């Protein structure tokens, strides 16, 4: 799903790990997800026949999205689809994520789910209109990215402190079962 993972050579639990540069095989959900063209998306939007959901990051959605598309990530999907949706078209950067969202959308009652071929890049390449929404989704709903301390990268020391307080506080959110999965060993 786009994450780089690194293991410290000789680190805890690294015995038996093998390096691989091979691309992972697509999940069954992603492999079975039908694609629709940009032209089909335009037609469906014009006819009001489909719900277009943009599942890219909240910041990407704010910067520009298909007019009429709603931003959705998995934790908010049921709420977004509560109005009822027959056909759902996803705008995605990651087909693996789209496959998972498609499964959830079907479970929430969507009659059919497809993904727009080429994603938002294909939409903009076709000289289609782009809608920007700098305040939608709202800050509290941007749970997919950390924005409250974004100034730490620009040298803002207050943001640096806030970030470190937040990050070290994450351990306190673990329950006993989750903590038992870690074994911290002194050097």
* Best CA proximity match to 98, nearest among 128, 80, 118: 118
Partners of 50 in beta bridges: 87
Residue 37 clears pLDDT 90, i.e. is over it: yes
**% the chain with pLDDT above 90:** 44
Q: Give the pLDDT mean for 69-95.
A: 88
- Answer yes or no: are the C-beta atoms of 41 and 120 closer than 8 Å: no
Supply the pTM of this predicted model: 0.69
Q: Report whether pLDDT(187) > 70.
A: no
Average pLDDT of span 3-20: 65
- Residue 33 has a pLDDT of 92
Could you read off the pLDDT of 129-176 as tens digits, one per residue?
999 999 999 888 888 876 667 677 778 888 888 888 888 888 788 888
The per-residue pLDDT for range 107-135, each reduced to its tens digit, is: 888 999 999 999 999 999 998 999 999 99
Whole-number pLDDT of residue 35: 96
Selected residue with higher pLDDT from 63 and 1? 63
Answer whether the bond into residue 137 is a cis peptide, omega within 30°.
yes
31 backbone dihedrals φ, ψ, rounded to 5°: -65, -30
Q: Which one has a higher pLDDT value, 124 or 16?
A: 124
Grade residue 32 by pLDDT with cuts at 50, 70 and 90: confident
Domains of the chain and CATH, by start = 28-141 (3.40.250.10), 150-174 (no CATH)
pLDDT given for residue 84 in this prediction: 66
Across the range 9-31, mean pLDDT stands at: 67
Name beta bridge partners: 27: none
**How confident is the prediction for the chain on average, in pLDDT?**
84
- The answer to whether residue 2 scores a pLDDT higher than 90 is no
Please tell me the distance from the alpha carbon of residue 115 to that of residue 40, in angstroms, as a whole number: 11
* Per-residue pLDDT at 1 exceeds 50: no
């Amino acid at each position: 799903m786009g994450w780089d993972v690194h293991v410290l050579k000789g680190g805890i639990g690294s015995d038996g790990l093998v390096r691989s540069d091979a691309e992972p095989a697509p999940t069954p959900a992603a492999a079975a997800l039908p694609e629709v063209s940009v032209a089909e998306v335009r037609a469906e939007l014009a006819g009001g026949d489909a719900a277009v959901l943009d599942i890219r990051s909240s910041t990407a959605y704010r910067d520009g999205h298909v007019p009429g598309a709603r931003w959705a990530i998995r934790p908010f999907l049921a709420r977004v689809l509560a109005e009822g949706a027959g056909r759902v078209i996803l705008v995605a950067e990651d087909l693996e994520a789209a496959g998972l969202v498609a499964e959830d959308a079907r479970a929430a009652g969507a009659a059919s789910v497809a993904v727009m071929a080429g994603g938002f890049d294909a939409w903009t390449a076709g000289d289609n209109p782009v809608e920007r929404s700098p305040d939608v989704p709202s800050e509290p709903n941007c749970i997919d990215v950390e924005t409250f301390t974004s100034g730490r990268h620009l040298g803002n020391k207050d943001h640096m402190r806030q970030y470190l307080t937040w990050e070290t506080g994450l351990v306190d959110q673990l329950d006993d079962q989750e903590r038992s999965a870690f074994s911290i060993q002194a050097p």
